[in-house]
Structure 1
Amino acid sequence: MKIIREIYVATFLSVSVLSYAQDASTTIKVVDKQNNPLIGVKVALKDNMSNGSLTDERGQVSLDDTQKGDILIVQASDGSRKDIQVKEGMNVVVLDGRSKPVNRGFNLSGRNEESTAAVSTIYMQSAKTSDINPANSLYGKLTGLTSLQATTVAWSSDPEMFVRGTGTTGTKTPLILIDGFERPLSSLSQDEIESVTVLKDAASQALYGVRGANGVILVTTKRGEFSGMKVKASYQFGLNTPFRIPTMANGYQYAQAMNEALQMDGLAALYSQSDLAAFQSGTQPELFPSVNWADEVLKNKGTTHQFNASFTGGGKNIRYFAAINYIGDNGFMNTDHFSPDYSSQMEWDKLSARANLDINATKLTLIKLNLLGILSQHNRPATNYPTLFPMIYNVPSAAFPIQTSTGVWGGDNIRKNPVAESVATGFSIGNDRSLYADLRILQDLSVLTPGLSAELAIAYDNQASYWDSKTKNYVYESLQPVRDNGGNITDITRVRYGQETDLSFSSSLGSQSRVTTFEAKVNYEKNWLDTHQLNTSVIYHQEENSPNGLNQTYRRQSYIGNASYAYKNKYLADLVLTYSGSSVLGNSDKYAFFPAISAGWVISSEDFMQNATAINYLKARASWGITGSDRFAYDYDKYYFKTGTSAYYFGDNNNSASGHGEIRLPNLKLKPETASKFNFGIDMEVFNRLSLSADVFYEKRTNILVNSAPIYSTVLGVTTPMLNDGEVKNYGFEAGLSWNDRIGDFTYMLAGNFTFARNEIVNMDEGYQPYDYLKNTGNRIGQYYGLEAIGFFKDETDVANSTPQSFSKVVPGDVKYKDQNNDGVIDDYDKVAIGYSTILPEITYGFTIALGYKNLSLRADFQGVANYTLVKDMESMYWPLVGNRNVSQHYLENRWTPSTPDAMYPRLTTKQNDNNFRNSSIWTENGNFLKLRNLEIAYTLPKSWANKIRLENINLFARGMNLFSVDHVKDMDPEQMYATYPSFRSYNIGLTLDF
């Protein structure tokens, strides 16, 4: 019996112990640095990430079967992650900015606190705008990134982007990668983007070898979550209005201006007093019209519709993110004159569908599959907008009526009718089809040795566009008055031109490209003695981009070694070794070596900092390395002969025949541009509210391709080669600052960033210049050069007593220039550097103000630039009348006349005045501006209201974009100083539903 009792007691104790072990649980609470609970954060055992739980509304989660000392992974949906060791009682985990991942591409990432590189990251959820192109949501948002508005046509609205200014006279475009593969950012919708990261120094760019020198922008799309299906749907409607369309002279003003200009030129007036009276009264609109061509071709509003639906969720084996996005944009073309048979509206429709899948094929194998398909179509007038819009501003309002009394389009044999060109020439439809697909397999090889893993990735992208055009011709009519001996109009002479034709159909291929990419990677991680951490990777990358056209294919291949080391999480070091090649490089050597080394010191982790309680985090980092660029044409290293380039003369009559000729001499040692970069920076957090990141940087770019013609005599008799002789240095500093705080139910955030980047041309094979001030060398890329205006000639005496000017005969009202070299004549040797670069500003800054009270929020995003020069050379707006052009009201209000000697612009003239209309300080403007890029007010309905109709959340919002600009231009958008489709303000309202 004693034995039986002992067995019973032992069994009871064992069961009790087992029961206790099975019931053991750990409670985790996840908060931000303001101690606010974080909802939906995944918490799982490190060795079993596929089985995890999400934090509730209190930021808490309980995990069963955990023991003291177990390692847990705490990871938010934005990638913020911390590894913790289980303790007794409540385990509180703080996820802050240092917990967020730094994306370096090639599926390499680490927490921000472990990074030694200079990077900037923004999460799209906190940066959304209503722009249909997500690239335009980045204005002023990222330190080191300069974005400038370019064309605003819906289907082609990419901004110009520069990373830390520019260090090359060649191609300046940064490399844009989406989920690791080179793709256009405009292919995405904002709702499918998780984050955008800019790589700014060699420590991060050297991985990309011959692709990295101009900076790298990494875009990460959203992925599935370990949760039940979440459905989000949103719709927004936008009303767009043109922004600062130039105001041109009406018929009466134009006629007066022409008479004044002719008088200044010593010629007879074109319009009589009765003609002027007719223009002013409008009683004879056929002969004396006053047409506002901009108002007739354009309307004052356009509309945009956006719809998005996304589905997120998954379980142990499969997680998914799927999205459908539709954009419809209806442009500014005025429908009043449209043909009843077709539309020539500028409109665009785009439909895209995405599916991102994470599949645990086995416990050790993860498959990531991404698919994106896009169908888009745009419609426009047969006369394309780069041709049409200069007509709108160049054709005088007094030239001819829109239509004559006979119902025929007005016109003449000099200028085309802008309205007829917009509606009576037919229409064109552009169709675009794109497929982007990539597959990545991640294999855990810890069965071979702990910490070992491998990856394979392949991507295939196919894009094609083609045009369907239906074009026609139209009849137009020129009118001339018939006058009697007293000058009175007795009849009208009508001369018709052209022929009315039916629509003629044609189809053509616009562009086509195929891009294939393959990557293979082996990773090894090792931690030992709880103080040393080592992460290494060996990567092979190859890609081929094959667009249509001769000599357009690029092939690249890279072998990459990467190692990251940390000691006690305080002392950090990274090494990159990349051997990268490109098919466009010379046959002598298609590969180059790109190393980089960086280090970091987490000063706040040192013992001597423990009493500095105000400083939560402080890290210093430095990097040096080399990266490259192969962004130049394919054939610079080859001999090429082309038919039709040379003419041969023979026979008694000196007949000629074309033949093959040599295009240019080759560069037989063609190299990639090479950028040697240094960076020093600090990252800091203070008072749990203030975050600061600041960097100074220096870059020396060599091997830039430049035209060698200036250093060779033309006696050579053939086009000289493009040589790798160019050299530029680029340097500056940048800083980003943010303050986040909560006071009860009120939250606020203030954030700003500032970037200063200045470049200097060291060499560009410029050749001999008689005066140093004429040299581009030593100045900025894009530096404006011209004559320095010192006023206008007041009268004939002033002309006679001033330094002679060699360009054309001058009279009072013409521009007077400074003799820079004091040689007694004004000529091209008197040009000097004026202002700053006309390509990009030296200073870019942005700031955001975000306020929240309970369910109501307000956000304003500003962007500004400085040290930037604009050129005022738009025909008719600034260079009027000459060549039968128009004149703007702005010019009329600021022109020289004998009574306004201190005017802004020279006198009116109808002649090709080479003295006045040439590069000079007259035609430059301060390009500094500050724009309100985005203003948003949003309200989230109480959850109790949403739950009543079985919804999780209902959010209402209103957004305005580009609402105002503070600048020096006033009459035009400072980012659009030329005649093109107008930029616009946008007013949007929308609704987001979470199911």
Structure 2
Amino acid sequence: MANFTRYVRLALLLGAVPGASRAQGALSLAVQNPRPPVAPARAAAHVSLEAFIQELQATYKVNFLYRNQLVTGRYVSKAHPAFKSLPEALRYVTQQSGLQFELLKDGLYVIVPQPTAGVAPEAVPPVVPALLASAGPMTSLTDRPLALADVTVAGRVTDSKGGGLPGVTVVVKGTTQGTSTDPDGKFSLQAPENSTLVFSFVGYTRKEVPVTGATSSLAVSLADEAQALNDVVVVGYGTQQRANVTGAINTVSGATLENRPVTSVAQALQGSSPNLTIQQNSAEPGAGLNINIRGVGTLGNASPLIIVDGIAGSLNAINPNDIESVTVLKDAASAAIYGSRAANGVLLVTTKQGALNQKPTISYNTVLGYQAPNFQRRPVTGIQFMELKNEALVNSGQAPQFTPQQMRDFAAHGDYDWQLNQVLKKQAFQQNHNLSVSGSSGKTRYLVSLGYVDQNSLFYGDNYGFKRLNGRLNLTTQVTDRLKLGAIVSYAHVGTREHAFDT
């Protein structure tokens, strides 16, 4: 009869007074009884079981059903150990209070007395599960979604050598909850149990570590992002690793410039590097391009200094297929070695070399194509022009310009020739051929290349166009560990034939 009364009152409370019970986070199944006074000495060393249960509710986001008579007058020690999980906390309360916690549904427990010897435990009548099922899915009696309990995670982040990393970002994956490490690499934050911490830092590989529980000694080691730090960058006074470069430098690889349908290096560099502006002011084959790194200057020439294998040169005389890399030096610090000549920036061009222990490799590529003007307009006949002109004037309320007799006389005379068709071609042929041989013999590396470009002009004339013939020989010999000899032989013949007017 007692069990029946208890569950009937539970049904009444679930259906009639959910507001009052949910506001407190637990269901009271009996009338409040006056609590006996607590001795001051015991109150100082213990905490009431009801207060402890409310603390568990707030920490683990669960709810408990119980009778007030069961928890009244029961206490647990304040000096309890740190709990790693809810089951561990419930086992501790069971040992301290003699009560048993039965799981009714996810996040919902009922508190009953522990069975004694010879007495069967109180069974949960079918009415309670049926009542809970009829109420639909219940996530929390406090109208809050269930969440894993937050645990304290502390530790230290180090590099591959064991040194602490300051400023490492530590974030709970999928959230904005996080922190950063102190100057010694230590950190501490609250994270949900069974979540994942993400450690990230510039120059190091991102790492994810699962949270299995509270800890104060989590050790995380981040590996160097070798691919970004070990790149070799050509600077004015040699080469450096990218990790050690502090100036404004950008490198364009030779693979970016190869196989582009262009005839010059400047055209191939268009759109390949930030802040490198290349403008074409003429449609003539072989015409120079305006190159700017620091913007347009007002005191004369604003073009950057061009350095090819350590020697000042020109981009128009280089075969794009011979280039290994182009380094753009943008700020004053990186270009300071060249003095006032580098006031507008520097382009460092490094040509290809053979590789050690490489068999002779022959490479040939060619580009064939046609150019066609896209700005030609289709002309109208003289009679069509007169008719359209008169129609436009009449529509605007004016008298026609041409009389019928003038139009008949013009038709009898005939149209004039459209001269632009005799000035511009419909298409112009261009070809680009490149042949190279590279390899090594012992400690000597070599590269031999030949290049030929023939770009016809769109203008009719005496063989108008641009031609370039390139030849290059790069030799490098490692004499000793500290002595290396090199020779660079370059030949370029550039010819341009154009008409008397710019386009």
Larger radius of gyration: 2
Q: TM-score, normalised by structure 2?
A: 0.49
Q: TM-score, normalised by structure 1?
A: 0.26
RCO (CA 8 Å, sep 6+): is it higher in 1 or 2?
A: 1
Which structure is higher in strand share?
Answer: 1
